Amino acid sequence: MGLKTSFRGVSLPPQKVSNPAIEDAPLPQRVVLPLGQGVERVCQPVVEIGEQVKTGQLVGQSGDFLLAPVHSSISGLVADIRPWFDPLGNEVLSVIVESDGNDSWQEELRSDESFLEKERVQILSDLKAAGVVETGPPTMPLHAKFAQPERPKEFLFLVGIPLAKPVDTVIINGIDAEPGMAGKGAVLQKNSSEILAGIKIVQKLLDSAQVILAVGSNGSLNTSLASELAGLGVKVFQGKDKYPLGLTPILIKCVTGREIPLPDGNEQDIGVAVVDAVTLVHLVEAVRDLKPQVERVVSLSGAGVGAVKNYKVRLGTVVSDLMGQLESLKGEPVKVIAGGAMTGMALFSADIPVTKNTDALIFQTAGEAKSFSQDACINCGTCVRHCPARLLPGELSKYCEFGMFEEARDKYLLHCIECGICAYVCPEKRPMLHLMRFGKRELSLT
Ligand code: SF4
Ligand code: SF4
């Protein structure tokens, strides 16, 4: 399949990825488990301070359909339950567990050979119980993503979020969109049996939907995976090496020709579900092994790491603890970016935990960290020529810079997909993405 829709964007330099594809990060001495997504949607803790917990044990849950349960990612003692900062500086109620060093699991993980025979309702129930979450934006529990309105009986147990349109296309996103990210390519290489099993489960959940696996132009699928995919009727979409192809709104547009109705719409409004290849592996582990999501693949780079390395990191591992444990980390990082080089956000503190949303961490030494300028926009138009959302980033940035947020909204600030291209191409090195995010945040507070 070729690109259905062309888009503006940029070609980014290729990155080196280290082998083995994925390593286990050292077991953390403590984990900080946020009980919510942001400050508004928060689970209730179901453990108490001083209680011993096992790996995989439920520590927080909620009746909110759009909130996934939280499990302990290590075994040990609940040392505290208190607010802890998230990457945006919000204080989110969190359960802090200190490790006993044993990593004893709540239940022995066992592979159910007949997991592909499970009924749809059982699959959704397993996903809900395991707390598998699709990385954002927007972050969403997987069971909610697959709730279909035309099957009310099967989904009665879910509180029921009516979808605007049944999902007719599922895109498995195997494209590592930007430098610093390499997790999706790694699971396509290393977890082909889970990728196949995950696709079979998705096909069962949405039996009338076509499934498309999207890979980058360098995304080599091994021959047996490619032929098994063909046997399942899965089409492979091979994209160009052009950023931001891997970002959801652009990927959907290129694969299906459909456009998410921004600013308030989402992929479900146009009958599409995008599932990250890494999330697909968690989906299989939830259904096959009844394994709660207690870890995720995080790509680490910078600070002398050289090639990008993928680690399986326990959720709740505090970034500063991880930095102390990684032998491969050389140099003294002065800046940590959560996410890729284009869309990532600099952390204001390294005492932030890894969450289900942390797909990459970039450690930058003083020599590697880039700084932005306070210079004025010179109206060169470079950002306009590259913006994939067809906006006028220079103008928007000026409105945000001078606190004219309503004017920015009127000029479609909320249609910005936060790809970061305007910051990448700006010859004046203006902090474009920061200004867009700043403006959006100010508008969200009014
Ligand atoms: S305005 Fe938004 S969508 Fe356009 S290039 Fe900048 S960050 Fe990307
Ligand atoms: S690229 Fe930079 S200087 Fe040029 S118009 Fe955009 S914001 Fe202004």
Q: What is the 3-state secondary structure (H, E, C) of 193-256?
A: HHHHHHHHHHHHHCCCCEEEEEECCCCCCCHHHHHHHHHCCCEEEECCCCECCCCHHHHHHHHH
CATH number for 308: 3.10.20.600
Q: Measure 36 CA to ligand 1 centroid, in angstroms.
A: 28
Q: Which of 273, 288, 303 is the last residue of a domain?
A: 288
Confidence of residue 31 (pLDDT cuts 50, 70, 90): very high
Please give the distance, rounded to the nearest whole angstrom, from the Cα atom of residue 176 to the centre of ligand 1.
19
CATH code for the domain of 50: 2.40.50
Task: Please give the tally of structural domains in the chain.
Answer: 4
Q: Which helix (H) or strand (E) holds 363?
A: strand 360-364
- Is there a single domain that holds both residue 180 and residue 245? yes
Nearest atom in ligand 1 to 244's CA: 8
Torsion angle of the four alpha carbons 262, 213, 6, 397, in this order, in degrees rounded to the nearest 10: 40
Of the candidate ranges 161-165, 219-223, 383-387, 418-422, the one whose mean pLDDT is the lowest: 161-165
- Judge whether residue 154 has pLDDT over 70: no
Q: Is residue 18 part of a domain?
A: no
Decide if 315 is inside a domain. Answer: yes
432 Cβ inside 6 Å of ligand 1: yes
pLDDT for position 336: 94
Average pLDDT over residues 37-63: 91
User: Residue 382: which pLDDT band, with cuts at 50, 70 and 90?
Assistant: very high
Residue 236 belongs to a domain with what CATH number? Answer: 3.40.50
- 417 C-alpha to ligand 1 centroid (Å): 6
pLDDT at 152: 46
Which is the closest atom of ligand 2 to the Cα of 378? 3
Strand pairing category for 169-173 and 210-215: parallel
CA gap 320, 31 in Å, rounded: 12
Look at residue 17 and tell me if it is in a domain: no
Look at residues 267, 288, 309 and tell me which one is the last residue of a structural domain: 288
Which residue's CA is minimally distant from atom 2 of ligand 2? 426
Residue 47 lies in a domain: yes
Q: What is the pLDDT of residue 369?
A: 85
Its sign, for the CA torsion 403, 409, 411, 412, is positive
What pLDDT sits at residue 5? 63
Measure the CA–CA gap between 286 and 265, rounded to whole angstroms: 29
Instruction: Specify the 3-state DSSP secondary structure of 408.
Output: helix
Q: Is the CB of 78 under 6 A from ligand 1?
A: no
Whether residues 159 and 257 share a domain: the answer is yes
Lowest mean pLDDT among 20-24, 55-59, 173-177, 220-224: 220-224
- Does the CB atom of residue 244 touch ligand 1 within 6 A? no
Out of 10, 382, 391, give the residue to mutate to test ligand 2, the one with the largest number of ligand atoms within 8 Å of its CB: 382
State whether 193 and 86 are in the same domain: no
Q: Of 142-156, 255-269, 327-341, which one has max mean pLDDT? A: 255-269
Query: Hey, whose CA ends up nearest to atom 5 of ligand 1?
Result: 387
- Residue nearest (by alpha carbon) to ligand 2 atom 7: 394
Indicate whether 276 and 166 sit together in one domain.
Answer: yes
Does 80 map to a domain? yes
Q: Is the CB of 417 under 6 A from ligand 1?
A: yes
Nearest C-alpha to atom 8 of ligand 1 is from which residue? Answer: 419
Q: Are residues 355 and 389 in the same domain?
A: no
Phi-psi sector, 218: left (phi>0), alpha (psi -120 to 50), beta? alpha
Last residue of a domain, one of 333, 364, 395: 364
As a whole number, mean pLDDT of residues 4-19 equals 80
- Nearest Cα residue to 395 out of 425, 380, 244: 380
CA of 342 to the centre of ligand 2 (A): 17
What pLDDT score does 157 carry? 47
CB-ligand 1 contact for 422 (6 Å cutoff): yes
Q: Is 376 contained in some domain?
A: no
- Residue 421 CA: nearest ligand 1 atom is 5
**How far is it, in rounded angstroms, from Cα 254 to Cα 126?**
32
Which pLDDT does position 153 carry in this prediction? 42
Same domain, yes or no: 140 and 215: yes
224 and 346 co-located in one domain = no
What's the 240 CA to ligand 1 centre distance in angstroms?
Answer: 20
Distance from the alpha carbon of residue 431 to the mean position of ligand 2, in angstroms:
10
- pLDDT confidence of residue 316: 97
Quote the domain boundaries for residue 89: 27-99
- Residues 438, 393, single domain; the answer is yes
- The answer to whether 256 and 33 have CB atoms below 8 angstroms apart is no
Q: Which ligand is nearest to the CA of 393?
A: 1
Give the pLDDT of residue 39.
67
User: Tokens in use for 193?
Assistant: 């049996």
Residues 168 and 209 in one domain: yes
Name every residue whose Cβ is closer than 8 Å to that of residue 61 and which is 6 or more positions away in sequence. Answer: 43, 44, 46, 69, 70
Which of 383, 400, 416 gets mutated to test ligand 2 (max ligand atoms within 8 A of its CB)?
383
List residues near ligand 2 (CB under 6 A): 377-383, 393-394, 397, 425-426, 428, 430
Beta carbon of 168 within 6 Å of any ligand 1 atom: no
128 and 212: one domain? yes
pLDDT at 151: 46
- The residue whose CA has the least distance to atom 8 of ligand 2 is 377
- Asked whether residue 172 falls in the same domain as residue 301, the answer is no
Residues 65 and 193 in one domain: no
- The whole-number pLDDT of residue 413 equals 98
Distance of CA 181 from the midpoint of ligand 1 (Å): 20
> Higher pLDDT residue, 286 or 2?
286
**Domain contains 8:** no
By CB atoms closer than 10 A (0-12, 13-18, 19+), residue 54 is middle
CB atoms within 10 A of CB 316: 28
Which pLDDT belongs to residue 223?
Answer: 79
4 belongs to a structural domain: no
